[in-house]
Amino acid sequence: MGRGPTGTTLTNARLLTPHGVRAGWLRSEDRRITALGTGEAPEGGTETVDAGGRWVLPGAVDIHIHGGAGAAFTDADPEGAMRVVEFNRSRGVTTLVGGLVTAAPTDTLDQIAALAEVADGGGLAGVYLEGPYIAASKCGAHDPALLREPDLAEFAAMLKAGRGHVRMITVAPELPGALELIRAAVSEGVVAAVGHTEATYDQARAAFDAGATVATHIYNQMRPLHHREPGPIAAALNDERVTVELINDGVHVHPGAARLVFGSAGSDRVALITDAMSATGLGDGEYTLGKLRVRVEDGRARIAETGQIASSTIVLPDAVRRAVHTMGVPLEAAAHAASAVPARALNLSGVGSLAAGGTADLLLLDDDLSVAGVMHHGSWVRRP
């Protein structure tokens, strides 16, 4: 009895590769992209699927997300965390880093340990700590009563709970001990990000010189840009070492300001993120983010008590589509900002690009950029 097909050959595709758009084919076997090219695809050994001329992008990589489908990463529940992962996979986000918000020390360790368990099983690419070492005046949807100054001993306990899965931490560089914590994070292989901050331009530059390489959701919860005190926004945009996160949901950042980020930093330094919460995919209503009540109306999430903007309720392909249709960003650049750039920023190997040897994570889009198919690790999550 002969062996059946061991992989998939996708034909009649518009492939967004690191070398530009190619009309051609892509072959995946054993969870990996094994070959891609133009012209006629080689025959035999795999199932052939006609892409129908659709766009084929790398699976999206969301490095800043807090929940979805009714679950939050702060729940410290591995099953709930996987519900977030599966919901996103079905919509084209094939790599996620589980984001936590400021919590009490013991709760934070429990949350990290739960997400590390999911990462051990391959569900998450790591853990992201948004706080607790952030500015009270720029805390946003973080509980101000739980904020604290950078603490190297506490951070070491976080790393121990994460068992090698803590990928990134956001720090306000003006806080006492912040630069020491940034250096400690970098020395442990953890990406340090600047955000939720009142830092001056010089303080932000000092953080980048200490090793921070990401700006957390540029504009949001930062000292605003001013021509005489440009603050962290200009420091990040001017620094070639820094990847700039952008929430492109049409709520957090005006399209004109978002275009400015792409124009200033260039598509090779912009990482589209969602900052999405548990309400994503469920519609309007009341939810929680950490310990705070959040009300969602018309897809816009705001803290119930203050009306302040909280997380978003989009998935990452929505941000790509908005960048193209609303901001005029070329699809190649928008897709790059949702895949290769965030993957590189957090040192996630094998994902974020269509290249031989890489993970077979694919996102198929129709001409209107709606999701038509999703492949994760060589298996169809959503068949075109």
What is the spatial distance between Cα 312 and Cα 115, in angstroms, rounded to a whole number?
21
pLDDT digits (tens, 9 = 90+) for 301-335: 888 878 788 889 999 999 999 999 999 999 999 99
Tell me the CATH number at 188: 3.20.20.140
Active site residue 368: no
Say if residue 359 is in the same domain as residue 266.
Answer: no
At residue 162, the 3 state secondary structure works out as helix
Say if residue 229 is in the same domain as residue 309.
Answer: yes
Q: 2 lies in a domain?
A: no
List the structure tokens of 311. Answer: 């997380």
Q: 244 lies in a domain?
A: yes
Q: What is the mean pLDDT of the chain?
A: 95
Give percent of the chain with pLDDT exceeding 70. Answer: 98
Helix axes 152-162, 105-120, angle to 10 degrees: 30
Q: 1 lies in a domain?
A: no
Question: Which residue in the list 62, 249, 275, 361 is annotated as catalytic?
Answer: 275
* pLDDT score, position 3: 42
Tell me the CATH number at 361: 2.30.40.10
Q: 135 lies in a domain?
A: yes
Number of structural domains (the chain) is: 2
Say if residue 158 is in the same domain as residue 286.
Answer: yes
pLDDT digits (tens, 9 = 90+) for 122-154: 999 999 999 999 999 999 889 999 999 999 999
Assign 43 a pLDDT band (cuts: 50, 70, 90): confident
Name which of 40-49, 130-139, 253-262, 329-338 the model is least confident about. Answer: 40-49
What is the spatial distance between Cα 47 and Cα 27, in angstroms, rounded to a whole number?
9
When pLDDT is averaged across residues 53-61 and rounded to a whole number, the result is 98
Distance set, CA 225 to CA 4, 47, 262, 272, 301 (Å): 60, 53, 16, 20, 24
* pLDDT score, position 5: 55
Q: Tell me how crowded residue 253 is: count the other CB atoms within 10 A of its CB.
A: 19
Residue 4 has pLDDT above 50, yes or no: no
Say if residue 47 is in the same domain as residue 152.
Answer: no
Q: 154 lies in a domain?
A: yes
Say if residue 358 is in the same domain as residue 316.
Answer: no
* pLDDT score, position 159: 98
Task: Give the structural domain span for 235.
Answer: 60-345
Say if residue 94 is in the same domain as residue 110.
Answer: yes
Q: 318 lies in a domain?
A: yes
Question: Which phi-psi region, left, alpha or beta, contains residue 21 (left: φ > 0; alpha: ψ -120 to 50)?
Answer: beta
Say if residue 339 is in the same domain as residue 252.
Answer: yes
By C-alpha distance, which of 273, 275, 101 is closest to 112?
101
Say if residue 156 is in the same domain as residue 53.
Answer: no
Say if residue 153 is in the same domain as residue 212.
Answer: yes
Say if residue 360 is in the same domain as residue 251.
Answer: no
Say if residue 32 is in the same domain as residue 102.
Answer: no
pLDDT digits (tens, 9 = 90+) for 215-239: 999 999 999 999 999 999 999 999 9
What is 7-75 written as a DSSP string? EEEEEEEEEEETTEEEEEEEEEETTEEEEEEESSPPPSSSEEEE-TT-EEEEPEEEEEE-EETTEEGGG
Q: What is the end-to-end Cα distance of the chain in Å, rounded?
A: 30
8 A C-beta contact, residue 130 and residue 102:
yes
Q: 176 lies in a domain?
A: yes
Q: What is the pTM of this model?
A: 0.95
Say if residue 178 is in the same domain as residue 246.
Answer: yes
